[in-house]
């Protein structure tokens, strides 16, 4: 609730004070509407009319205030306060605070404004107005358009989980995703496999063709890895340097090897020239795979198994898949 809105909850709703409160709400730069105790619109201020594209004349005296924010009828925050329903999380993307004692709710939500044909992310506050005798007279709802702030925050979150060069998941995202599926697999017995992928002789590639070519190679391989994923729960990540990692929540050990071999062959078919490689005239990769087994005590053990298999693949000639 804004300071102005909070102050008005203490004003006696009669005489000059009532006239002042009504005029203040109408002229507020913050989009605001007021419902009476029966849920009918008392005030729909100019700022809200500008935001929603719906004039006060269209909604005053009706219960159609939801039309300003949603395509289908559903409760607004003010309705929940009137009903004494403080489970706003059933209707709103984020509930910042909810006080049954004070009968106030603060929340945030994406609203598809039908009249203005735009989607806006709104910070919403709703609280009651009481008479001097403590009777509920009305509920005030104020709204702030924080769409650009929300988009900027979402972009920061997205970037924090992506590798800046390749655009796929970074090591932090991989670790979190793997831990989530490790916990599920060890409880349910469902399969879980990982692949560790290393570009063969990548230092020589950079030395002979330059770091720009090396960056382009990393981007091309990252794009290919992402295209090889089948399940929405699969994840390809840049593990570090010239290493990539893949989480496969569904395939068992044999299935993981099939996926790994398919990836190895697809990278070979990209035919990225590697004149400095003693293994192949084109870029190749070595892959180690590991799958959840009953004796493994931690996700770190799973990674260590895959890393050991990758080491063997590199030691024994590279350009191959080794299963732990």
Sheet containing 41-44: give its strands across.
41-44, 32-36, 136-145, 118-130, 104-113, 94-99
- Give tens-digit pLDDT for 169-201: 999 999 999 999 999 888 888 889 999 999 999
What is the arithmetic mean of pLDDT over 64-85? 94
Q: Delimit the domains of the chain by residue range.
A: 3-153, 161-323
C-alpha span between 85 and 126 (Å, rounded): 12
C-alpha span between 27 and 94 (Å, rounded): 28
Q: How far is CA 1 from CA 41, 74, 182, 241, 314, in A?
A: 18, 21, 43, 49, 62
Phi-psi region of 15 (alpha: psi -120 to 50; beta: other; left: phi over 0): left
Rounded to two decimals, the pTM is: 0.63
Q: Which of 127, 180, 183 is nearest to 10 (CA)?
A: 127
228: number of CA atoms within 13 Å, CB side?
24
The answer on pLDDT for 74 being more than 70 is yes
Q: Is 288 exposed, middle or buried (0-12, 13-18, 19+ CB in 10 A)?
A: buried
Q: Which is higher by pLDDT, 102 or 204? A: 204
Cβ atoms of 54 and 70 within 8 Å: the answer is: no
Q: Which is higher by pLDDT, 300 or 13? A: 300
The answer on pLDDT for 18 being more than 70 is no
The answer on pLDDT for 300 being more than 50 is yes
Query: Was domain 3-153 assigned CATH 3.30.70.3000?
Result: no
What is the arithmetic mean of pLDDT over 53-64? 95
3-state secondary structure of 167: coil
Q: What angle do CA 60, 61, 62 make, to 5 degrees?
A: 95
What is the arithmetic mean of pLDDT over 18-39? 85
- 199: β partners: 285
C-alpha span between 324 and 316 (Å, rounded): 14
Task: State the sign of the Cα–Cα–Cα–Cα dihedral 70, 75, 79, 80.
Answer: negative
Enzyme catalytic residues: 242
- 195: β partners: 246, 289
The answer on pLDDT for 4 being more than 60 is no
- 308: β partners: none
Task: State the sign of the Cα–Cα–Cα–Cα dihedral 312, 316, 317, 319.
Answer: negative
Q: Which numeric CATH code is attached to 161-323? A: 3.30.70.270
What is the arithmetic mean of pLDDT over 98-122? 88
Residue 293 is given by DSSP the state -
Percent of the chain clearing pLDDT 90 (strictly above): 73
C-alpha span between 34 and 198 (Å, rounded): 62
Cβ atoms of 283 and 267 within 8 Å: the answer is: yes
Residue 86 is given by DSSP the state -
Q: How many Å from the N-terminal Cα to the C-terminal Cα in the chain?
A: 59
Identical fold at 3-153 and 161-323?
no
Cβ atoms of 246 and 194 within 8 Å: the answer is: yes
């Amino acid at each position: 609730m804004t300071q102005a809105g909070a102050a008005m909850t203490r004003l006696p709703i009669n005489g000059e004070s009532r006239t002042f409160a009504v005029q203040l709400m109408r002229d507020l730069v913050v989009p605001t509407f007021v419902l009476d105790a029966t849920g009918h619109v008392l005030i729909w201020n100019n700022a809200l009319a500008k935001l929603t594209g719906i004039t006060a004349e269209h909604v005053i005296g009706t219960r159609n205030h939801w039309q300003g924010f949603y395509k289908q009828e559903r409760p607004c925050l003010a309705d929940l306060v009137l009903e004494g329903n403080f489970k706003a999380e059933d209707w709103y993307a984020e509930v910042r605070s909810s006080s049954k004692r004070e009968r106030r709710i603060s929340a945030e939500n994406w609203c598809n404004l039908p009249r203005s044909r735009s989607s806006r992310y709104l910070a919403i506050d709703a609280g009651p107005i009481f008479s001097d005798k403590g009777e509920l007279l009305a509920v005030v709802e104020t709204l702030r358009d924080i769409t650009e702030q929300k988009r900027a925050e979402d972009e920061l979150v997205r970037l924090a989980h992506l590798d800046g060069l390749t655009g796929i998941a970074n090591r932090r995202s991989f670790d979190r995703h793997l831990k989530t599926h490790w916990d599920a697999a060890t409880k349910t017995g469902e399969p879980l496999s990982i692949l560790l992928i290393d570009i063969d002789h990548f230092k020589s590639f950079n030395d002979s063709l330059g770091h720009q070519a090396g960056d382009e190679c990393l981007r091309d391989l990252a794009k290919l890895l992402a295209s090889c994923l089948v399940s929405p729960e699969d994840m390809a990540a840049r593990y570090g340097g010239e290493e990539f990692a893949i989480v496969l929540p569904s395939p068992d050990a044999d299935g993981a090897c099939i996926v790994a071999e398919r990836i190895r062959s697809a990278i070979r078919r990209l035919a990225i020239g590697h004149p400095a490689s003693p293994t192949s005239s084109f870029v190749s990769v070595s892959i180690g795979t590991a799958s959840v087994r009953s004796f493994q005590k931690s996700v770190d053990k799973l990674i260590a198994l895959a890393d050991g298999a990758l080491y063997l693949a590199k030691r024994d000639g590279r350009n191959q898949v080794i299963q732990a």
